[in-house]
Chains A and B, each alone.
Chain A
Amino acid sequence: MSAVAAASARGAWAHLASGIRRHKMASFGAGIVVLVALSALLAPWLAPHDPLEQDVLLRLAQPTADFPLGHDSFGRDILSRILWGGRVSLYVSTLAVLIAIIVGGALGILAGYIGGLFDRIVMAAMDVLLSFPTLVMGLLVVAMLGPTVGNLILAITLTAVAPFARIARAPTLAVKERDFVEAGRALGFSNLRLMVVHILPNVVDDILVMAALWLATAIRTEASLSFIGLGVRPPTATWGGMIREGFENILDSPWLAIFPSLAILVVMFGLNMLGDGLRDTSDPRLRHE
């Protein structure tokens, strides 16, 4: 059973990968995302200086050849902090979206497959989650529970579970009536097997397309919370936190806020291009654009 599931998951990946390769915008976006992810992963080796090392003499110093992006108000190297900051932002957002996919996807498939009262209760709970504006819910969760990495992940996960549950439920409803599921049931396959082997592969495509766009949303939420002052505590570098510190010196040293802003823009632009391209390739009506 797991072999079949693995094969169908591979099929979905292969389908998406070939879609990305054929689609210019998607492959450009994917390239940007891979580059940013690599630079964050390799930050310990790429960063020219210690992101936490302070040098009072170089407070707010302008960019030089040795420190190409200048120094912040504590005399820390901005380039190194951007490279390290990407780790926190990407770690928090990726983990939050992954958990949301697993929890939301499972809830959506279960709700669609079981139907009835269970379906109604799950979807009503999702409606309640969707009644809070994303950022406001994140604000409340982090403010009440404290600004730790775990709570940030929890807050962002809570904002993303409902959309994934909805997107997993819709194809489940359609697929469970199809003949091959009926045949599986007649053969005496367990419900779990039917859901994992026969329904999941039909849901994966939609979920992966949405994952790229939600990753962008998650990065935006994490950065926004850090900007408001509810991110991972200083001195740890995060992009949103750096913009917050830079904003305090916006009048005399605008580059403090501009460079981390550009970092966020680049990764968001890449993810949006990738997500858009994936949607085009997975939607046959748009395939010829």
Chain B
Amino acid sequence: MSNPRFATITRIARLSLAASVVLSLGACASFKKKPEYAGSSDGDFISGSALPDRNESSSFLSESVDKSRFSPVYFGFDSYSVESSEEGKLNAVASFLRNSSQELIIAGFTDERGTAEYNRGLGEKRAQAVRSYLLSRGADASRIQTTSFGAEMPADPGSGEAAWAKNRRAEFGVVR
């Protein structure tokens, strides 16, 4: 890492890898609109990168984690695509990560619709989609954890689209 040239190459490699992840996510999101109901899935999927080991001295629920530093980003129904309207918020998070050594926990949430276990998976996928975006903007993968609470801890406990839209989100916890 002391060699700036090496660091640049690494960053380019990382950017292109992350970009391909974002591309494949985007392709999947558009595929979602015209699903197919026959055949079996073949092939493989290599995710951008594995999560780093957890530091269990703090979690998203810890008092010591600052959850108000960044605004949540929001998602469409049953979707984990990062909307262009949310990119400004994410760019601020990426910029913070590039200029700090602090760790970040991304927590994904869903609205109350959906099966509980499916929602836990969807919330995790939202957190991971946000993580992929941040990596594509140069954030260091070794300092980002993800977690999902599914439909637990709604931002708005009400029912109806206005509440649901607030609950389909990813939040950011900065480890102090």
Verify that A and B bind, or say they do not: no
Which B residues form the contact surface with A (CB < 8 A)?
none
